Structure 1
Amino acid sequence: MLKLRTASEAVKMIKDGDTVVTSGFMLATTPEELFIAIEDRFMETKAPKDLTLMCAAGVGDLRGGNTGLNHFAHDGLLKRVIVGHFGSNDQIVRMVNENRIEGYNWPQGIVSHVLRARGNGEKGLLSRVGLRTYMDPRVSGSKMNDLAKEDLVQLVNLNGEDYLYYKAPNVDIAIIRGTTADELGNISFEDEIALSMARVAALAAKASGGKVIAQVKNYVKAGQIEAKLVGVCGIFVDAVVITRDIDKNHRMTPGSLFDQSMAGHRQVPTGSRKPLEMSERKVIGRRAAMELVPNSVVNLGIGVPETVSAVAAEEGCSGDLVMTVEAGAIGGVPAGGLNFGASLNPWSITDEPTQFDFYHSGYLDVTFLGLAEVNHSGDVNVSKFGPRIPGCGGFIDISQSTKRVVYCGTFTAGGLEVEISDGKVVIVKEGKSKKFKKGIEQITFSGKQALENGQEVIYITERAVFALTEEGLELREIAPGIDLEKHILSQMEFDPIIARDVKVMDRNLFEDGLMGLKGVIEAKKNR
């Protein structure tokens, strides 16, 4: 019972110059009430100051506002951030762009594994994830602005192979969130979408001689939490804070206060999805879905890649998909929008480090990811566009480790208008921005590294399909109704290789009704 504290009492454990690690995936497992207490303390006392803040995923609400890491966006409070994703923290991005704090961006899985290594008493992590991307010191070493000068990532050659060595910081404070704490400080996670980073953050802090503060919504007597449900043992927890405002500061996700299915408590009918209306997004999703094999274990990125799941459901092929989500769910139906990170009816839920063990091992059959900028070498940028810095999240971990990588996106951006009629693609209005560019701002995916890894990589748009080859990007399919020169080559800043036998994309992709995806997948069973 001596561990029970108010939020304002607990955050006094944080000292000037400390390195603070937090759990969180958007608002899931995010200790929002503790963040508010830290902000309030700083605004009143100007302490603590010069903190280094580290987290694996985007922490906050994608709609913006003063949530998540934005509570730390005050001059003097932060010295440095090492984060996996900036997308939900516009105020932190502004500070990085204005060189008011040091900005570093590491892959989500790497952050989780670095902290696990620190919890094991190690000083860093050796990994091939990130080679030839902007993680690599030969590119930018994960530095996101001029103020970031320290080399936190090193290039190492071991037995003739290149690796990246990510330095593990000493963790002074871990701020985590669970559901229930008992009098001994044991923490369970029964109402969360996953364990997130809580366990490894706590272990990293204790291995560094630091302290652990846990936010919960329930408090019970010792022995009332079943031992196997304890996610973080009380011997690692120094302070427990009971949330005063569950609705605001202890939401399951930005979109849900609590959902039994997303917590894995019970199965719910997911209902029949309304078929997608015919559009360029549906065409891309249909063509991408043709890359599925029976019982595919997959990961879907945000945006256009999500249409793959919708197409599979419409075609009666959901049973051929096993979906996974970076936060820790395997199986079920990934939730989108403000519930992103959760899954309905998951088969299992684990923590982020274990989920990224699964990804790094190459167990995924295929990943469907967004297509923002691509160059002739097949390199992809999804992480930085001028002052807009979404960051990489789990993109690098997954794209460098998966056997088949399928990039999905429209051919141009910014006002593109497309009609699908009479089984053809009609470009009504071309987008203002070209996606296939001579130079891209940041390398989030390296085509050269993918070729060395033996990966199969294709790039699917509404009007053309490309493949990664040793010679560069090769055009292999063109949609009916599309003119090679007018609609493809003139809208690219480089000349792709053109295959000798360029095919017309399957006309079923552009027709109303079912496209016969089930037969396409079943035909691969004996291959």
Structure 2
Amino acid sequence: MNKVMGFDQAIDLIEDGDTIAFSGFMLATAAREMMVRIGQRFLKEGSPRNLTLYQGAGLGNNNDQGICELSYPGLIKRYVTAHFANNRPMIEMALKNEVEAYNFPQGVIAHLYRQAAGGKAFEITRIGLKTYCDPRIRGGKVNQAAREDLVDLIEIDGREYLKYKVPNYNIGIIRGTTADEFGNISMEEESSIIDSLDVAMAVKACGGKVIVQVKNLVSSKSMNRQDVVIPGVFVDAIVKSEEPEIYHRQTPGTYYDPIIAGRYKSDNFGFEPLALNERKLIARRAVLELEDNSVVNLGIGIPEAVSSVAEEEGLENIILTVESGLIGGIPLGGSNFGSAVNSWAGLAMASQFDFYNSGGLKKTFLGFAEMDPIGNINVSRFGDRIGGCGGFIDITQSTKDIVFCGTMTAGGLVTEVRDGKLHIVQEGKKKKFKNNIDEITFSAEESLENGQNVIFVTERCVFALREGGIVLVEIAPGVDLERDILDQMEFVPRIAEDLKTMDLRIFQEGLMGIK
């Protein structure tokens, strides 16, 4: 049976009210041309409509491409995601209660696909306890339109767990590189397999239809078994991208690079050393927490600089991982976030989160946007600015050693390092250490119960999480405790009796010499 068809024929498979699962991480393995065509069909004919969308990682280019091209009132009834990826149309719909919006951890959504693939009704996990995903707080609901409870609190053998409901998926929309007429799919030009196979298996287990957008069509006689990632038994329809340079990009920032696809390795890839500013100061202090042969995860933003400093210092035995499923190599940032060069392997995203959730990471380096006196952190929502948790909750609730990285203040902060001391030239306008935060993405209470080691690194000081709240444990040379730290906080932290000076090597030009 030849499964190749046109986009219009594939869209005819979607019925009003269907629940659709999308694969992808940003635009990697995202079937963007299908998204655009569905949006166009709705605007022209008013159907399909009232759809429920599930997707794990943020799906788009953080601007005007991706799931935002489906964000029309009436087209989408419910949206369940780990990250909104700056999808302004969907965020506006959520704020106006024009869509039922939910925000769940990335690993949870990845595991919902796998649970569906195995015929199971729930994902039972401790991920999300005492965060906004906990039904005692908000149950992952983003707005008032989200009335149905999709997660319950349960107890097993005296321990609390969250029980996330597995939906009945009607349609899967995924992406591969090459397909034969029977629907066998290879992914040789993709940055990683991410969740394409898991989505396909989940949808087929639910009795639904799977649509695959590809770049190339070949005869089954030329498809090698070892290249097939998604067997044709899990595929119902194949559509070939008509404008792959636009709609079938490897990442938002790259049309196709064989090094990102893992087909070749580069001896010439590296980071330019960072200027000695607040970003590098934080990364330098964070790097001091690294241990030889550590398996770690780096978040977006300032934590990305940790990789640069580690390379500059010649720390070679650090194994970096990415939520998308990549292990080893050098993770990329910006418009290529979620991909890597010179990686060792690419797992399915659900398997990567198995590894994370089991405590496989030695350390994680993540950003923080705002923190309260207890040590709770918010990175997911700030009033009308809805971002999402991504893999933040999965990672922070599962990793023994956590290093949060961020500037002391935000919005216009200017610093200068002079004569081995830090000088605050201009203070940021926004305080990040607040009495109250908008929501809890990291629960200090849960972390302390789990016996995690947590520090918070800024350019001018270091805090540690302790019973009763955060404690100031290190201060940078040149920094005034009262003016530069305490006056920049809405609360007064405890100060360690043995308050230390941050390592002086951090504030010197040249290498720190920590190899």
> Could you tell me whether the CA contact under 8 Å between 2:295 and 2:320 is conserved in 1?
yes
The residue that corresponds to 1:364 in the other structure is: 361
1:142 partner letter: G
DSSP 3-state at the match of 1:458 = strand
Q: Give the C-alpha shift of residue 270 in structure 1.
A: 3.5
Question: CA–CA distance in 2 between the matches of 1:225 and 1:322?
Answer: 33
DSSP 3-state at the match of 2:386 = coil
1:92 aligned to which of 80, 87, 90: 90
The residue that corresponds to 1:13 in the other structure is: 13
Question: CA–CA distance in 2 between the matches of 1:150 and 1:497?
Answer: 42
DSSP 3-state at the match of 1:155 = strand
> Could you tell me whether the CA contact under 8 Å between 1:87 and 1:389 is conserved in 2?
no
2:255 partner letter: L
State the TM-score, normalizing by the size of structure 2.
0.99
The residue that corresponds to 1:52 in the other structure is: 52
Deviations 1:283-303 (A, max 9, x none): 100000000001111111111
Q: Give the C-alpha shift of residue 228 in structure 1.
A: 2.3
> Could you tell me whether the CA contact under 8 Å between 1:418 and 1:428 is conserved in 2?
yes
Q: Give the C-alpha shift of residue 273 in structure 1.
A: 2.9
Question: CA–CA distance in 1 between the matches of 2:269 and 2:514?
Answer: 20
The runs of at least 4 consecutive aligned structure 1 residues that moved more than 4 Å come to none
> Could you tell me whether the CA contact under 8 Å between 1:199 and 1:231 is conserved in 2?
yes
Give matches, 1:64-79, under 5 Å: 64-65=63-64, 67-79=65-77
> Could you tell me whether the CA contact under 8 Å between 2:72 and 2:89 is conserved in 1?
no
The residue that corresponds to 1:432 in the other structure is: 429
2:389 counterpart of 1:392: yes
The residue that corresponds to 1:521 in the other structure is: none
For the aligned residues, what is the CA RMSD? Answer: 0.9
Q: Give the C-alpha shift of residue 272 in structure 1.
A: 4.5
Question: CA–CA distance in 2 between the matches of 1:480 and 1:223?
Answer: 68
The residue that corresponds to 2:61 in the other structure is: 61
Question: CA–CA distance in 1 between the matches of 2:56 and 2:238?
Answer: 22
Question: CA–CA distance in 2 between the matches of 1:36 and 1:12?
Answer: 15
2:30 partner letter: T
Question: CA–CA distance in 1 between the matches of 2:114 and 2:270?
Answer: 41
DSSP 3-state at the match of 1:109 = helix
State the TM-score, normalizing by the size of structure 1.
0.97
The residue that corresponds to 1:517 in the other structure is: 514
Question: CA–CA distance in 2 between the matches of 1:55 and 1:105?
Answer: 10
In structure 2, the gaps of 5 or more residues are: none
Question: CA–CA distance in 2 between the matches of 1:239 and 1:87?
Answer: 28
Question: CA–CA distance in 2 between the matches of 1:434 and 1:225?
Answer: 57
The residue that corresponds to 2:350 in the other structure is: 353
1:418 partner letter: T
Question: CA–CA distance in 1 between the matches of 2:254 and 2:201?
Answer: 29
Question: CA–CA distance in 2 between the matches of 1:24 and 1:117?
Answer: 18
Identity %: 51
Q: Is the alpha carbon distance of 1:272 and 1:256 closer, same or farther for their aligned partners in structure 2, counting shifts above 3 Å? A: closer
Q: Give the C-alpha shift of residue 328 in structure 1.
A: 1.2
Question: CA–CA distance in 1 between the matches of 2:347 and 2:396?
Answer: 21
> Could you tell me whether the CA contact under 8 Å between 1:116 and 1:353 is conserved in 2?
yes
Question: CA–CA distance in 2 between the matches of 1:372 and 1:454?
Answer: 23
Give matches, 1:91-240, under 5 Å: 91-240=89-238
Give matches, 1:470-481, under 5 Å: 470-481=467-478
Question: CA–CA distance in 1 between the matches of 2:415 and 2:284?
Answer: 16
1:466 aligned to which of 463, 467, 471: 463
Question: CA–CA distance in 2 between the matches of 1:377 and 1:516?
Answer: 35
Question: CA–CA distance in 1 between the matches of 2:436 and 2:510?
Answer: 40
Question: CA–CA distance in 1 between the matches of 2:271 and 2:172?
Answer: 41
2:333 counterpart of 1:340: no
2:402 aligned to which of 386, 400, 405: 405
2:500 counterpart of 1:499: no
2:175 partner letter: R
> Could you tell me whether the CA contact under 8 Å between 1:415 and 1:432 is conserved in 2?
yes
Q: Give the C-alpha shift of residue 72 in structure 1.
A: 1.2
Question: CA–CA distance in 2 between the matches of 1:272 and 1:446?
Answer: 36
Q: How many residues align?
A: 515
> Could you tell me whether the CA contact under 8 Å between 1:26 and 1:88 is conserved in 2?
no
Q: Give the C-alpha shift of residue 84 in structure 1.
A: 0.9
The residue that corresponds to 1:2 in the other structure is: 2
> Could you tell me whether the CA contact under 8 Å between 1:59 and 1:88 is conserved in 2?
no
Q: Give the C-alpha shift of residue 224 in structure 1.
A: 2.0
Question: CA–CA distance in 2 between the matches of 1:315 and 1:197?
Answer: 35
DSSP 3-state at the match of 1:4 = coil
Query: Is the deviation greater in 105-114 or in 482-491?
Result: 482-491
DSSP 3-state at the match of 1:498 = strand
2:321 aligned to which of 309, 320, 324: 324
Question: CA–CA distance in 2 between the matches of 1:182 and 1:171?
Answer: 25
2:124 partner letter: L
DSSP 3-state at the match of 2:113 = helix
1:490 aligned to which of 487, 490, 498: 487
2:377 aligned to which of 380, 393, 396: 380
Q: Give the C-alpha shift of residue 87 in structure 1.
A: 1.9
> Could you tell me whether the CA contact under 8 Å between 2:278 and 2:459 is conserved in 1?
yes
Q: Give the C-alpha shift of residue 274 in structure 1.
A: 2.3
The residue that corresponds to 1:22 in the other structure is: 22
Question: CA–CA distance in 2 between the matches of 1:273 and 1:110?
Answer: 33
> Could you tell me whether the CA contact under 8 Å between 2:26 and 2:85 is conserved in 1?
no
Give matches, 1:236-255, under 5 Å: 236-255=234-253
The residue that corresponds to 1:522 in the other structure is: none
2:303 counterpart of 1:305: yes
DSSP 3-state at the match of 2:233 = helix
DSSP 3-state at the match of 1:13 = coil
1:507 partner letter: L
Query: Is the deviation greater in 155-164 or in 417-426?
Result: 417-426
DSSP 3-state at the match of 1:94 = helix
DSSP 3-state at the match of 2:59 = coil
Give matches, 1:259-270, under 5 Å: 259-270=257-268
Question: CA–CA distance in 1 between the matches of 2:348 and 2:88?
Answer: 26
In structure 1, the gaps of 5 or more residues are: 519-527
> Could you tell me whether the CA contact under 8 Å between 2:423 and 2:479 is conserved in 1?
yes
Q: Give the C-alpha shift of residue 25 in structure 1.
A: 0.7
Question: CA–CA distance in 2 between the matches of 1:491 and 1:273?
Answer: 33
